Amino acid sequence: MTANTIITNNPLLKGSGLPPFAEIQPEQVEPAMTQLLAELDRELTDLEANVEPTWSGLVAPLDDITERLRWSWGIVGHLMGVKNSPELRQAYETVQPQVVQFYTRFGQSQPIYHAFKALRDGDSWKTLDSAQQRIVEAAIRDAELSGVGLSGEARERFNAIQQELAALTTKFANNVLDATKAYSLTLTDKAEVDGLPASWLSLAAQAAREAGDENATPENGPWRITLDFPSYFPFMQHSTRRDLREKIYRSSITLAASGEFDNHPLIDRILSLRQELAELLGFKTYAEVSLASKMAPNVEAVDKLLEELRRASYDAAVKELAELKAFAASKGAVEADDLQHWDTRFWSERQREEKFAFTQEELRPYFPLPQVLDGLFGLVKRLFGVTVSSADGKAPVWHEDVRYFQIADETGNPIAYFYLDPYSRPAEKQGGAWMDSCINRSQIGSNGSTQIRLPVAYLVCNQTPPVDGKPSLMTFIEVETLFHEFGHGLHHMLTKVNYADAAGTNNVEWDAVELPSQFMENWCYDRTTLFGMAKHYETGEPLPEHYYQKLLAAKNYMSGSGMLRQTHFSCVDLELHHRYRPGGKESPSDVRSRIAQTTTVLPFLPEDAMLCAFRHIFAGGYAAGYYSYSWAEVLSADAFAAFEEAGLENEEAIKATGKRYGDTVLALGGSQHPMEVFKSFRGREPSTEALLRHNGLAAV
């Protein structure tokens, strides 16, 4: 078989356009990537030999190389998240070392690095716009963080660490997926499902049918529980069987913590390698490496923010737990004096129901996915003047439930597209929700003319699937999650930057990336937005006003506990990557226990191994960066406050403020520093005031 034949026949070597998902098979991954990497390596070698320190002689040809790799390897990575299989996993793990090796060689290229520095120091620097300058400066910084300054044994060791870390983090994620998939509990007695809502019974019966119990029904069971969020979370909220809640909870906190999927040794090794890598680069800790490319100036600034949020939330969380115990006692609960982790969600849901006189389940019928999408799309038209419409059938998809949409500007011209993969599929799909780039916006030239390549996003959720002929009826949490991910999508899709390396979320400091996503969550409570989507799926009746008022009243319910929980995770992450030293007296679990003394109000169990499933920091991009959620929440709350100040009922003011937000936060992408972007929207630097006010903690 000739090289040309492979190029013609292998869908992963198309190099551009929408991925042909229907044609892609796991066995095509290795030959495609091996050939592509060989081609790109030759092109990089040629460029190194003839590089010019100009935009057209350096950045443009490099962009062509990186975009082709990003396209092909990005598809494989995407399928690992949404259509995982043993065959795909094997192919991914076989090829991954070659990909890491290429990126390392690329990052450590002396000719390329010196060309970037020459471009920055040369006469043509002033002719570049801010986006181009940011791309060049980021390339220099990234090369330095990739070990371009190392040589000899230090470089060899650095590169070996990069390879091992890539393999370990992939293994960590696979262990969490496999451990989740391996666990289930089948209930057969009606007494075991007491208190559980009809939606959960339908989902659990469907899970039982998929597992082989063909006659399972919502009414008579059997019912299958998994640790997947749509199954686990409602069970903990509603099951009256404390013994079963305890059993499920203990399983959840020991996920991937023993047996063949044990992540304990991986955690130790990952932390050791990261610390060694940091020292090779001349940093004291891995946190310093992480922050070198973030908005926060240093670890002290992060510590300061986290301590401010901890102080604001700790006393509130103590008070909330005391109130919860008193409430449970008032209901005659024998466990009231000794509330455990498997009790808090159950009793907080009962307290919420009594305090605000509604249940989360009562709201589900008002939030069928198609109407939630209508409301979401109505909001973005209201704020940004863009129209979202179905483009189903115009793009290949990886699963029959996946949808495809187009976004058009006010004149009707398409400006972006996105895929939506909404439902939970625990057998093949990673848990959680995320946005990822399929295609980046950029200016491309061909035959002497240039055109704009439109961005395409992947939006992936894990919400409750349609069951028993009903549409996907969403919890309010699932609605917020969809809005959150769509905020990331808007950042990617509404960019006006024409260089891929600074378009959308690219080159945006990691701790500012959550601004547009968290910003969108605020709109779930906006009257116009909510009533635009909340209609009963059978009758079309709008959400009754009393429910809206109760939602508003319940918005800050347990907000102290929620903020303290996020602060706990952020502090643990930062401690592990900054002050902790592998091989010392403390284990990572000991570190978490110590941090918990001031960041939790209910001590966790000795066997709690949450770190073993903490994909964000051990298999995602959040190592020494989990604080980013809190950092960006300050920005997003302050950004939403601009709309509150304009008047949420004032359509003209909302439209004007939306245009300003769209023209700055969304349009500018990574072309300017996020502080400059924020100030261009808000007219000043951010303040924590709006965040604390939105959470009902301002007085504290």
- 586 a catalytic residue: no
> Is the pLDDT score of 605 beyond 80?
yes
**pLDDT score, position 635:** 97
Contact status, residue 194 vs residue 241, Cβ threshold 8 Å? yes
Least trusted range by pLDDT, from 250-254, 358-362, 477-481, 522-526:
358-362
Handedness of CA 642, 505, 484, 307 (dihedral sign): negative
Integer-rounded Cα radius of gyration of the chain: 25
**Is the domain 367-554 a CATH 1.10.1370.40 member?**
yes
Residue range 3-149, CATH number = 1.10.1370.40
630-654: average pLDDT: 97
Give the pairing of strands 387-390 and 403-408: antiparallel
Which residues have a Cβ under 8 Å from the Cβ of 262 and sit 6 or more positions away?
A: 175, 256, 612
Please choose, from the candidates 623, 509, 628, the residue with its C-alpha nearest in 3D space to the C-alpha of residue 278: 623
CA separation for the pair 364, 348 (Å, rounded): 19
Q: Where are the beta strands (DSSP E) in 424-535?
A: 434-439, 442-446, 449-453, 456-463
DSSP 12: G
Whole-angstrom distance, CA of residue 500 vs CA of residue 646: 34
SS3 414: strand
Per this entry, what is the length of the chain?
700
Tokens of 140: 């220099």
Q: What is the pLDDT of residues 660-672, one digit of tens each?
A: 999 999 999 999 9
Nearest to 76 by CA among 25, 112, 117: 25
Q: How many CB atoms lie within 10 A of CB 178?
A: 15
Query: How much is the pLDDT for 698?
Result: 80
Instruction: Provide the residue ranges of all domains of the chain, joining segments of one domain with +.
Output: 3-149, 183-254, 260-355+559-626, 367-554
Residue 548 pLDDT grade (very low, low, confident, very high; cuts 50, 70, 90): very high
Distances (CA, A) of 211 to 200, 204, 376, 657: 16, 11, 35, 51
Give the model confidence (pLDDT) of 350-373 as tens digits: 999 999 999 889 999 999 999 999
- Residue 445's pLDDT is what? 78
- Give the pLDDT confidence score for residue 8 in this predicted structure: 58
Flag whether pLDDT at 476 surpasses 60: yes
Q: What is the mean pLDDT of the chain?
A: 96
Q: Which two tokens stand for residue 91?
A: 């192919």
Please report which helix (H) or strand (E) contains residue 371, including its range.
Answer: helix 369-384
Predicted pLDDT of residue 586: 96
- For 603, which DSSP code? P
Task: Give the pLDDT of residue 373.
Answer: 98
Mean pLDDT of 42-58: 97
Using one digit for the tens of pLDDT, what is the confidence trace for 364-415?
999 999 999 999 999 999 999 999 999 999 999 999 999 999 999 999 999 9
First to last CA, the chain: 71
Which amino acid is located at 662 in the chain?
Answer: G
Task: Report, as an integer, the average pLDDT of 230-249.
Answer: 97
CB atoms within 10 A of CB 486: 27
Q: Which pairing describes strands 442-446 and 403-408: parallel, antiparallel, or unpaired? A: unpaired
Distance CA 278, CA 274 (A): 6
- 548-569 exposure pattern, b = at least 16 Cβ within 10 A, e = fewer: bebbeebeebbbbbbbbebbbb
pLDDT tens track for 2-18: 444 445 589 999 999 99
The correct answer on CATH 1.20.120.330 for the domain covering 260-355+559-626 is no
State the Cα–Cα distance between residues 495 and 516, nearest whole angstrom: 12
Question: Is residue 217 classed as helix, strand or coil in its secondary structure?
Answer: strand
**269-284: pLDDT as tens digits:** 999 999 999 999 999 9
Find out whether 174 and 93 touch, Cβ atoms under 8 Å.
no
> 458: helix, coil or strand?
strand
Indicate if the pLDDT at residue 570 is higher than 70: yes
* pLDDT-above-90 percentage for the chain: 96
Specify the DSSP class assigned to residue 663: I
Adjacent-strand bridge partners of 7: none
Query: Binning pLDDT at 50, 70 and 90, where does residue 449 land?
Result: confident
pTM, entire model: 0.94
Residue whose C-alpha is closest to residue 161's, from 145, 181, 185, 182: 145
Distances (CA, A) of 206 to 369, 375, 505: 19, 29, 38
- pLDDT of 286-309, one tens digit each? 999 999 999 999 999 999 999 999
pLDDT (average), residues 122-148: 97
Measured distance CA(333)–CA(345) in Å, rounded: 14
Catalytic residue from among 192, 478, 485, 509: 485
pLDDT at 699: 60
Which pLDDT value is given to residue 448? 78
Q: How far is CA 105 from CA 48, 51, 86, 143, 193, in A?
A: 12, 16, 29, 10, 56
Q: Do domains 260-355+559-626 and 367-554 have the same CATH topology?
A: yes
Instruction: Read off the pLDDT of residues 119-131 as tens digits, 9 standing for 90 and up.
Output: 999 999 999 999 9
Q: Which two tokens stand for residue 355?
A: 């305090």
> What is the average per-residue pLDDT within 191-206?
96
Residue of 386, 661, 385 whose CA lies nearest to 522 = 661
Q: How far is CA 681 from the centre of its chain?
A: 24
Residue 114 has pLDDT above 90, yes or no: yes
Q: Where are the beta strands (DSSP E) in 391-491?
A: 403-408, 414-423, 434-439, 442-446, 449-453, 456-463
Q: Name, in order, each residue with C-beta under 8 angstroms of 436's C-beta and a sequence gap of 6 or more.
A: 74, 78, 81, 457, 458, 460
Biggest CA pair distance of the chain: 80
